[in-house]
Amino acid sequence: MALASPLGRRFVIGVPYAWLVVFFLLPFLILLYISFVDMGNDISPFKPIWDSATGLLTLKYENYNSIFRMGEDGALFQTLYIEAYVRSLWYALCTAVLCLLLGYPFAYFIARSKPSVRPALLMMVMLPFWTSFLLRVYAWKGILADQGVVNQALMALGLIHEPVQMLYTNVSMLVGMTYVYLPFMVLPLYANLVKMDFRLLEAAYDLGTTPFKAFWLVTVPLSKAGIIAGFMLVFIPCVGEFIIPSLLGGPENIMIGRVVWDEMFTSNNWPRASALAVVMIGLIVVPLAMYYHFTAESAESKN
């Protein structure tokens, strides 16, 4: 033990532990608590859980009910909130797929390039990532505008005759999200592919497979762990994305992060904003649990 004395040990554990309890656990518990109370009146944004008049503790499920149901006994799952959740998941899925299609060959070719140029290529992938995310998203606003560079280029090539609206549509949303999250896909894929034994491919060729078939039957299955890791790294942050829909999306493209924001600051409905956030955490925990299950399983099968 580097710090063997019990006092030193207690100090080293205690400092980060206390910090996390105060700034992570406690806020989460407050969030959970407020999601179960009523909206307050006058100045206080929410009512306490303990009713001083009756002396009863009551959990209110109204906030959750209003997320899933229109009105008291309306149809299930037909609210604007559910639409926003589904849209967020859908964008996250599309972005992850696009990143994979674009990023897999990219990572593959970097992994197969000369070892001397690999660090420089990786540095070039990382560099945009270190410059402001916000500014890079903002630039797409100009690039994809009706009179923007892309429309001008397409018109100069004669592919279109008048500007196509790309900004504030699904196109600009997906371009922006794919652009921002591509490095998150490329880096785990690269880390996986660079370790691969390319003699296995040679063996497949010697046995008479076509390059395409060899790729599907040898390379892809061997890089499964990298694909899943990259997919998670893109999918999870995409679900809660806030900036990209705010800058590149129209009113049609509102995602759940924005809905939480509006509920908090525009409607001033703290309990409902909290309930929406709690459901959002639930949405992210499910794919994460599946991921951990998968990695645990593959680690087991390796042993």
Partner 1 sequence: MKRFWQRAFGKLWLAAVFLFLYLPLLFMVVFSFNSTRQDSEFTGFSLRWYDALTRDTKIVDGFWLSIQVATAAGLASAVLATFAAFVLVRYRRFVGRTLFSGMVNAPLVMPEVVIGLSLLLLMVGIQNTFGWPQRGMLTIVMGHTLLGMAYGMVVVQSRLQEMDRAIEEAAMDLGARPIQVFFLVTMPNIVQAILAAFLLAFTLSFDDVVIAEFLSGPGVNTLPQVIFGYARRGINPTIYAAATLLIVSVTLVVIGYSVWVARQTRKREREMNAAVRAELTALQAH
Residues in 69-98 at the binding interface with partner 1, rule: CB under 8 A: none
Residue 242 as a binder of partner 1 (CB under 8 A): the answer is yes
Which lies closer to partner 1 via its Cβ, residue 170 or residue 237? 237
Alpha-carbon Rg of the chain, whole angstroms? Answer: 25
Among 81, 179, 181, 190, the residue binding partner 1 under the rule CB under 8 A is: 179
**267 φ, ψ to 5°?**
-85, -15
Residue 139 as a binder of partner 1 (CB under 8 A): the answer is yes
| Residues 6 or more apart in contact with residue 165 via CB below 8 angstroms | 146
User: Count of alpha carbons within 13 Å of 105, Cβ hemisphere only?
Assistant: 4
What's the min distance (Å) between Cβ of 72 and partner 1? Answer: 27
Do residues 149 and 139 touch, judged by C-beta distance below 8 A? no
Among 135, 156, 159, 286, the residue binding partner 1 under the rule CB under 8 A is: 135
**Segment interacting with partner 1, rule: CB under 8 A, options 54-62, 127-135, 191-199, 218-226:** 127-135
270, amino acid identity: W
**Segment interacting with partner 1, rule: CB under 8 A, options 19-27, 189-197, 223-231, 293-301:** 19-27
What's the min distance (Å) between Cβ of 69 and partner 1? Answer: 23
Residue 101 as a binder of partner 1 (CB under 8 A): the answer is no
Residue 109 as a binder of partner 1 (CB under 8 A): the answer is yes
What's the min distance (Å) between Cβ of 235 and partner 1? Answer: 10
Collapsing DSSP to helix, strand or coil, 158 comes out as coil
DSSP letter for each residue of 218-278: IIHHHTHHHHHHHHHHHHHHHHT--HHHHHH--GGG--HHHHHHHHHHTS--HHHHHHHHH
